[in-house]
Every structure is written in structure tokens, then in C-alpha cells.
């Protein structure tokens, strides 16, 4: 190529790049957000899901979109994470929406409600049963949009200082329990306490509470509940598949480029899968260690379970009668649950039941 022609071509390329650069810059701007978690760093799985989300977003955008994660208490108390997102102080949080049932009991459906969906059913309802659309229409009233970002699977029924043999044993029991379940247990005489995860052990140790539920063996072992309350009950009927959410200030989300919105949603799904898999991997060994260390593993009696189910249905009816948002989501959620168990009893439950019996043999 002749020198003159080369310079003409090169000059044209430079000119083209100069024109294109601003467009590229506009489509991939540098964005720095803060995320406040509702959980302490010591709980590596439930807190760690937010770190997984942030890492995915950072790497998928070549560092252009960065999210810095803060533990509960560093920016806001764990039970106020959504508050600072709603008012725009912080761009997003990682939380359990049932912490905010004091604002509106409808929040409970975003995490878990008594005798509700298990983890896989929760994913299915959100993705293919209209759950995400229903929840985000509700979240919009609180200036937020939510993305599923974790699940613990069916939880344990908690740690107790004394045995719970009958419904009478629940009367007067001061128990740390989150979300909507506290309203149900109130009908049975329990005095529910809403206490953040990092503060539960001290409350049990000092006798401020008589019992506490958290998640399951992997986290419960880390928090040391077995040292102060030996009776370990199951199942946690109030949390069959509790989902965590990445809650984002809706104005901040709407201001993101389309590609960043997609990355954020995909990162949340990655965190969702990560958390459940890590709990499933860690719970068996943790349960063995807890039992070896003296934990007294016991199931709730049939009488207690049936009394709790009756109380839950009463609370659902009472709340639906006075809260249209609650009723709308409740009706969708419960209809989906009933259809799901039609299927699960045929294949999933039959398969798992056989496997469990064979293992015992």
C-alpha cells in the first residue's frame, strides 16, 4: 500500500474510533454500588451469596460495574437493610423479605410462609407461576425491585431449653423467630422475638429468650446454639424453602444500561444456585457433629404440627380479609403449592422416601 493511501485509511480509522468511543463509553459506564447485607460475615454461606453476586457482576462487566458488599451493621442494622434501599441511601441489599412483615405481612411471601413452598417449588412459582411479577408489583410500592438470590432449603425447627412434647409446652415460650411465623405461634401462646442473626446466641445465653430458630446445621453450628439450648427440633414448618432477595432501589435500577440490568439479574440467579448447593453440601456433616456434641435431635409431635397448621390457616384467612395485596399473592402462592404436591407425591416424594428407607436398611 502506498504511503499516502495508508495515511488516508489510518486517518479514517482514527476518526471512526473517535466517533465510536463516546457511544461505547455510554453503553458501558463505570458504576459503583454498595450492597448492605442482613447477615454477619461469619455466616459464610448466607452472607457469601452477596459476595458471589458482586463477583459475577464485576467479572461479567470487566470491572465496569462494581458492587461493594457490607455486612450487617456496617452501613445499616440487618433488619433495616431494605429501609436504606427504599430511601435511596444504598443502592441494594441482600436480605430476607419476611423481616419486614411489620411494614406489611405481604413481604413474607417473598421469603417463606408457614406450610408453604419448598425451595424448588419457590423457584418454579417465581419463574413460571407469576410469583416474580406479583412480588415486584408489591415491592414497587416500597421503591424497590427484587431478584431471587439464595435459598436455604427446608429449615430446622430451632433450639429449645426444654422439650416441646405438647402444644401446652409452647405457652409462654419466648422464642426468636422471624417473619410471619411469629404471628402464627402467637395463637399458641408463644411470645415471638425478632432478633438479628448475630445477636441470637447472646439472647439465648442470657435467658432473654427460651428458644431460637435460625437456618440449619451448617449455620447453627457456627453460631453455637447447641451450647445453650440442647433440644434441636425439626422440621421448620414455617420455612420450607425460604428465599433470599437482592433488593434494588428501583430508580437506581432503572438508570442502569440494559446490559447491566441483565448481568445483575443473572448474577442473582447464580447466587441463588450457589447458596442452596453449599447448604446441601455442608448440612450432613454439621448435623453429625452437632449430635456427637450432645444435641438432642427430635421431631415435632403430630399434635404440635397439626395445631400449628390450624393456627396458620386462621392467620391466612384473617390477614387476607383485611389486606388485598396479601390476599392476591396468597391465592396465587397456595394454588401453586397445591398443584405442586399433586406432582411431588407421585415421583419426588416416592423416590426420596424409598431412598431414605433403603439407606436405613
Tell me, what's the pLDDT at 73? 95
Q: CA dihedral defined by 246, 251, 257, 262, rounded to 10 degrees?
A: 30
Cis amide linkage into residue 235, ω under 30° from 0:
yes
Comparing C-alpha atoms, which of 91, 82, 78, 67 is closest to residue 141?
Answer: 82
Tell me, what's the pLDDT at 26? 54
Separation of alpha carbons 188 and 173, rounded Å:
10
In the CATH scheme, what is the homologous superfamily, with its name and number, of domain 30-152+241-281? Bacterial extracellular solute-binding protein, family 7 (3.40.190.170)
pTM: 0.89
Tell me, what's the pLDDT at 15? 43
Please tell me what DSSP assigns to residue 207: T
User: Which of the residues in the chain have pLDDT under 70?
Assistant: 1-27, 361
Q: Could you tell me if 109 and 92 are in contact, meaning their C-beta atoms sit under 8 angstroms apart? A: no
Domain boundaries, the chain: 30-152+241-281
Tell me, what's the pLDDT at 361? 67
pLDDT tens sequence across 9-36: 444 544 444 444 444 345 689 999 999 9
Q: Which residues have C-beta within 8 Å of that of residue 155, sequence separation ≥ 6? A: 213, 214, 215, 216, 235, 236, 238, 239, 240, 242
Which residue reads 422464642 in cell numbers? 175
Tell me, what's the pLDDT at 302? 97
SS3 178: coil
Amino acid at each position: 500500500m502506498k504511503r499516502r493511501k495508508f495515511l488516508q485509511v489510518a486517518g479514517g480509522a482514527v476518526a471512526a474510533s473517535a466517533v465510536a468511543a463516546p457511544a461505547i463509553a455510554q453503553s458501558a459506564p463505570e458504576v459503583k454500588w454498595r450492597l448492605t447485607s442482613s447477615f454477619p460475615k461469619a455466616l459464610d454461606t448466607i452472607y457469601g451469596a452477596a459476595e458471589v453476586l458482586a463477583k459475577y457482576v464485576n467479572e461479567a462487566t470487566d470491572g465496569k460495574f462494581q458492587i461493594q458488599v457490607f455486612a450487617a451493621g456496617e452501613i445499616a442494622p440487618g433488619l433495616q437493610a431494605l429501609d436504606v434501599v427504599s430511601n435511596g441511601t444504598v443502592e441494594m441489599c441482600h436480605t430476607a423479605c419476611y423481616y419486614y412483615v411489620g411494614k406489611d405481612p405481604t413481604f413474607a411471601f417473598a421469603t417463606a410462609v408457614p406450610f408453604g413452598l419448598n425451595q424448588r417449588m419457590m423457584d418454579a412459582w417465581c419463574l413460571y407461576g407469576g410469583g416474580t411479577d406479583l412480588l415486584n408489583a408489591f415491592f414497587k410500592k416500597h421503591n424497590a425491585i427484587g431478584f431471587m438470590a439464595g435459598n436455604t432449603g427446608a429449615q430446622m425447627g430451632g433450639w429449645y431449653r426444654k422439650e416441646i412434647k405438647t402444644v401446652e409446652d409452647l405457652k409462654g415460650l419466648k422464642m426468636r423467630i422471624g417473619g410471619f411465623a411469629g404471628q402464627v405461634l402467637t395463637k399458641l401462646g408463644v411470645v415471638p422475638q425478632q432478633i438479628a442473626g448475630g445477636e441470637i446466641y447472646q439472647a439465648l445465653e442470657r435467658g432473654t429468650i427460651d428458644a431460637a430458630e435460625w437456618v440449619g446445621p451448617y449455620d447453627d453450628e457456627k453460631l453455637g446454639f447447641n451450647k445453650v439450648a440442647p433440644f434441636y427440633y425439626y422440621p421448620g414448618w414455617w420455612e420450607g424453602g425460604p428465599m433470599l432477595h437482592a433488593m434494588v432501589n428501583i430508580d437506581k435500577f432503572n438508570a442502569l444500561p440494559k446490559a447491566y440490568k441483565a448481568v445483575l439479574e443473572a448474577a442473582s440467579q447464580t447466587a441463588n444456585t450457589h447458596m442452596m448447593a453449599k447448604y446441601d453440601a455442608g448440612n450432613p456433616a454439621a448435623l453429625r457433629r452437632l449430635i456427637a456434641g450432645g444435641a438432642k435431635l427430635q421431631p415435632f409431635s403430630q399434635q404440635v404440627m397439626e395445631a400449628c397448621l390450624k393456627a396458620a390457616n386462621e392467620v391466612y384467612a384473617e390477614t387476607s380479609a383485611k389486606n388485598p395485596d396479601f390476599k392476591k399473592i396468597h391465592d396465587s402462592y397456595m394454588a401453586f403449592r397445591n398443584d405442586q404436591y399433586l406432582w411431588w407425591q407421585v415421583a419426588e416424594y416416592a423416590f426420596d422416601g424409598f431412598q431414605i428407607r433403603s439407606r436405613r436398611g
